[in-house]
Amino acid sequence: MLRAIAKQAEAEREKRSRIIMAEGELLASAKMTEAAKLYEKTPIALRLRELQTLTEIAREKNLIIVPGGEIGTMAGLAKAVTKKVEQ
């Protein structure tokens, strides 16, 4: 009898746990949808988020990451750095 009660209690805890996890997933997906809409309106925000993520990965793994992109962008960056160093 005690074993049956314990099994039922464990099943209830498991049920509550799954419901809580599902609710969390629902909230997360709603926030992701909201973010996707924002990024669609402002693509530069998505690029900045991408660079922030790369920075976090590089810091965590002690890496140097050179982001890809257009050569013009990298040349402009190099020119800006050179100009700053000369000043």
* Ramachandran class of 8: left when φ > 0, alpha when ψ lies in -120 to 50, beta otherwise: alpha
- Amino acid at residue number 11: A
For 5, the enclosing helix (H) or strand (E) is: helix 2-41
Consecutive sets of 10 residues in the chain, 87 residues long: mean pLDDT of each?
Answer: 94 97 98 95 89 87 73 56 60
Taking the complete model, does pTM exceed 0.75, yes or no?
Answer: no
Residue extents of the structural domains in the chain: 1-40, 42-87
The residue to which tokens 């750095």 are assigned:
81
Block residue for tokens 């793994």: 61
State how far the Cα of 6 lies from the Cα of 12, in Å rounded to an integer: 10
> Strand (E) positions, 2-75?
none
Q: What is the pLDDT of residue 63?
A: 80
